[in-house]
Structure 1
Amino acid sequence: MAREECKALLDALNRATACYHHLVLTVGGSADSQNLREELQKTRQKAQELAVATGAPLTTALRDKGLGAEERAEFERLWVAFSGCLDLLEADMRRALALGTAFPLHVRTLRHEAERDFDVGDLRELEREILQVGRMIHDMEMKVNVPRWTVQARQAAGAELLSCAGASSAGFVSVEQRTGPCDPSKALAATVFSAVLLAAVALAVCVAKLS
């Protein structure tokens, strides 16, 4: 029962992190708006709630000395997938912080005061949540020692990517209803744009520190 519960929670967490990843890629683009930022806020908070709910039973199971070898191997595979979701969530939260700081809403619209208040409050909250996720990852590694390279996958190479792509599509339905269907070329362009932007932000910070 515990294993099935963990699988269901992990599946929900995977969908939430995949949806958040897609949403982050649109920050600063033509579809950016306060509605998008609010959706980002809700999605990342949902992902964090699912992470807490998933980590607790996984930790309990893997610290059980009486767990059989086959059962332990299955929980270790779930643990590695869980770790990957947390790593992706933290990285995307940091990207959202950088993009949100670089593209404040009140500069691009007429509703200055309301959106300025939302921007400032949300970015501060996002900073705190990034620290919380970082602590969660650290605590997780301290409680359970499962080196990723020791865990054998049960799926063929690349199967997990196809699964993740399916989860991404399912989690992105609400966004498509507002912005239209996902165009692969636009998604690639958004990814490249985000990478260039992050590099520019990092360079600006370095220049500011040196000046």
Structure 2
Amino acid sequence: MAREESKALLDAFNKTTACYHHLVLTVGGSADSQNLREELQKTRQRALELAVTTGARLTVALRDKGLTTEERAEFERLWVAFSGCLDLLEADMQRALALGAAFPLHAPRRPLVRTGVAGSCSGVAARALSARSLRHEAERDFDRADLQELEQEVLQVGKMINEMEMKVNVPRWTVQARQTAGAELLSSASAGASSAVSVPERTGPCDLSKALAATVFSAVLLAAVALALCVAKLS
């Protein structure tokens, strides 16, 4: 039961980390917006919650002295997969911190043209500009607070990685994979080949006349190419 729960937690953490990775790639691009930054924050917090829960569950399991050899090997594989996902999450959080600081959503802008218009409508325009400035100010506060929170969470993940290495000593190079590298690609390729229409193979003796004709044609083609090269050099 503990192994199945650990697998489910790791699967959820893996998917959340992958989602966060794709969201980080759009920061600073044409799809960047306030909604994206808020979605980044929610996904990051969800990933951190899953990281804490999964790490605690795997730590308790690996420190259990009553595990069999097979169970310990399985939990060690889960531990290596979890630590790899955690490293990727830390790298993406650092990338999001750098991109968020380099591409603020609501940088202060100065008007390029001052019309000097004044009159009875100036009060309405002033109130509209005041409401807009308040909204932008709130959004800027969100950006600053989110970057500060993200900076603290990056340190938290780094501390979590160090504590994991001290609590459980599972060198990655000692863990054996359950299948060879690229097995999934090979299986999918073989499945695609089996689903395709098979071409019947000819098992009978080859046709000597056709083979001779192919040889003569190749010789003639090579002679023509040689002759063309000679003409090109002489000209």
- TM class, shorter-length: 0.7 to 0.9
Post-superposition shift, 1:160?
7.6
Unmatched segments (≥5 aa) in structure 1: 162-211
Q: Hey, what's the Cα distance between the residues in 2 that align with 1:104 and 1:130?
A: 19
Q: Deviations over 1:65-87 (max 9, x none)?
A: 12111100000000000000110
Other-structure match for 1:112: 136
Q: Hey, what's the Cα distance between the residues in 1 that align with 2:10 and 2:108?
A: 37
Aligned residues: 162
1:128 is aligned to 2:152: yes
Higher RCO by CA contacts (8 Å cutoff, separation 6 or greater): 1
Query: RMSD over aligned Cα, in angstroms?
Result: 2.0
What SS does the aligned partner of 2:156 have?
helix
Post-superposition shift, 1:57?
1.4
Which letter maps to 1:101?
A
Seen in structure 2, the aligned counterparts of structure 1 residues 78 and 160 have a Cα distance that, compared at 3 Å, is farther
Other-structure match for 1:154: 178
Other-structure match for 2:57: 57
Other-structure match for 2:12: 12
Which letter maps to 2:151?
E
Other-structure match for 2:37: 37
Seen in structure 2, the aligned counterparts of structure 1 residues 42 and 68 have a Cα distance that, compared at 3 Å, is same
- Percent of aligned pairs sharing the same letter: 84
Q: Hey, what's the Cα distance between the residues in 2 that align with 1:93 and 1:160?
A: 29
Q: Hey, what's the Cα distance between the residues in 1 that align with 2:60 and 2:91?
A: 26
Q: Deviations over 1:160-180 (max 9, x none)?
A: 89xxxxxxxxxxxxxxxxxxx
Q: Hey, what's the Cα distance between the residues in 2 that align with 1:90 and 1:159?
A: 28
Q: Hey, what's the Cα distance between the residues in 2 that align with 1:103 and 1:22?
A: 17
Q: Hey, what's the Cα distance between the residues in 1 that align with 2:42 and 2:29?
A: 20
Other-structure match for 2:84: 84
Larger radius of gyration: 2
Seen in structure 2, the aligned counterparts of structure 1 residues 158 and 99 have a Cα distance that, compared at 3 Å, is farther
Relative to the length of structure 1, the TM-score reads 0.73
Other-structure match for 2:69: 69
Which letter maps to 1:114?
A
Q: Deviations over 1:85-126 (max 9, x none)?
A: 110000000000000000000029985312211110000000
Seen in structure 2, the aligned counterparts of structure 1 residues 127 and 160 have a Cα distance that, compared at 3 Å, is farther
Which letter maps to 1:72?
R
Unmatched segments (≥5 aa) in structure 2: 110-131, 186-235
Q: Hey, what's the Cα distance between the residues in 1 that align with 2:183 and 2:158?
A: 28
Relative to the length of structure 2, the TM-score reads 0.66
Q: Hey, what's the Cα distance between the residues in 1 that align with 2:13 and 2:83?
A: 11
Q: Deviations over 1:123-164 (max 9, x none)?
A: 000001011111111111100000000001113313689xxx
Give structure 1 regions of 4+ aligned residues with deviation exceeding 6 angstroms: none
Seen in structure 2, the aligned counterparts of structure 1 residues 159 and 5 have a Cα distance that, compared at 3 Å, is farther
1:141 is aligned to 2:127: no
Q: Hey, what's the Cα distance between the residues in 2 that align with 1:108 and 1:45?
A: 28
Which letter maps to 1:88?
L
Which letter maps to 2:88?
L
Q: Hey, what's the Cα distance between the residues in 2 that align with 1:140 and 1:87?
A: 12
101-110 or 64-73, larger mean C-alpha shift: 101-110
